[in-house]
Structure 1
Amino acid sequence: MSSSWDSNSPVRPLTSMHLYFAVMYAFMSLLCLYSLYESFSKGGDELVKMLIACGIFIPWTFAHYKTSDAVEKGKTWASTASYILATPLLFAFPIGTFFGVRMMSHASKLKQE
């Protein structure tokens, strides 16, 4: 029995990229949560900055994880979500741009299947 991991389809690289970014953002979320814990004693602007950072990284982690799961299961909305999540990566030159373009190209192949 073959699976999507055995073929030459864009499912495997797209799923891997989303999982990679989910792990990376989870690590950044943990750093933000630790900084948030540390900034409670300082208060002021530091606390607000850490709340904003946690408010960005935690949902972004969840979004990449759910999109990787949707790509693997073949959900119809997975390629659109991949486009949306890849768009901000285009501004993180040069590495983010590379991954953003690759993610978008695999999402377009996924849409064609």
Structure 2
Amino acid sequence: MSKPYLVVRASIEPSVMEEFVRWYEGVHLPHVMEIPGIERAFRTDCRRRGVNWTALYELADQGSIQVAFTSGEAERARRDWERWLPHVSELSVEVYAALSAIPGYEHWN
């Protein structure tokens, strides 16, 4: 089964991007990597509908999703973002995970 991914997209003010990158790499990313279940992180510049920041985080397995989101480490990582919110015009957090069979549901062709 494929591993789930957490995708964070943001539109950061260009005037603070250099400082934001330093903060992300030096403070936020180390905090994110302490979240239970997060195994790897990827970052890229993005030009999708005004979004200029994208980060992907690979989780260990499906069971890691809830654990990761409710952990104290995740709360600390979310608090890290607060200082940047005045410089963010768009922020989305998405989870991509494989769907499993739905018990009790049958499809007849």
TM-score (norm 2): 0.30
TM-score (norm 1): 0.30
Task: Point out the structure with the larger helix share.
Answer: 1
Task: Point out the structure with the larger strand share.
Answer: 2
